[in-house]
Amino acid sequence: MPKELEFRFDDESILKKNVKKLKKEFELKEKKYDTSEGYALANKTRSLQIQILPPDKKVNQFIVITRITNDQLTEEMKAIFGEPLKERIVSPSILEVAEYITGLPKDLSEIEIQQKLEEELQISQKYRLFKKMILKHGDKSTSREVIKKAADRLRAAKD
């Protein structure tokens, strides 16, 4: 289940030490922002995304926002950063749903795919919407390859 955790740090050296540890452990790639200060980190599968913002006038602390797609990573982030200031469940994106579908075994029926999505991503009420969006975007030539594969996978799984 995707979650967003927010951590705050007063000391930049502690933050840098934790970020260095994360980069090494999870093979994170850094991306600088064009419009503002701060930067983001993400692993290849985007199961872990981290946004780091410098102190501003309102909050005189470094803000670290992590977006995580499973509970194991949640526990690892808490072990590294400590208890989060905020923790909330977030809805998965169409890309996250498509990536999850392409990772499922090929012999599953549509009902089994729906059950897996409900169990793992808690999208029982949004399943039809995500399915419709993936099938629609899967036909476009400009769509990402993962969405095209997920659309093919859903078409092949019809009961």
Q: Is residue 3 within a helix (H) or strand (E), and if so which, with residue range? A: strand 3-9
Specify whether 18 is located in the same domain as 35.
yes
Specify whether 17 is located in the same domain as 71.
yes
Question: Residue 130: is its pLDDT beyond 70?
Answer: yes
Query: Percentage of the chain with pLDDT > 90?
Result: 46
Specify whether 72 is located in the same domain as 21.
yes
- Rounded mean pLDDT of the chain? 88
Question: Residue 8: is its pLDDT beyond 70?
Answer: yes
Q: Which residue range(s) make up the domain with 136?
A: 94-156
Specify whether 31 is located in the same domain as 70.
yes
Give the pLDDT mean for 66-79: 88
Specify whether 10 is located in the same domain as 45.
yes
Give the pLDDT mean for 20-29: 87
Question: Residue 64: is its pLDDT beyond 70?
Answer: yes
3-state secondary structure of 85: coil
d(CA 153, CA 91): 22
Give the pLDDT mean for 61-87: 90
d(CA 32, CA 132): 34
Tell me if 131 sits within 8 A of 83, measured CB to CB: no
Q: Is residue 66 within a helix (H) or strand (E), and if so which, with residue range? A: strand 62-68
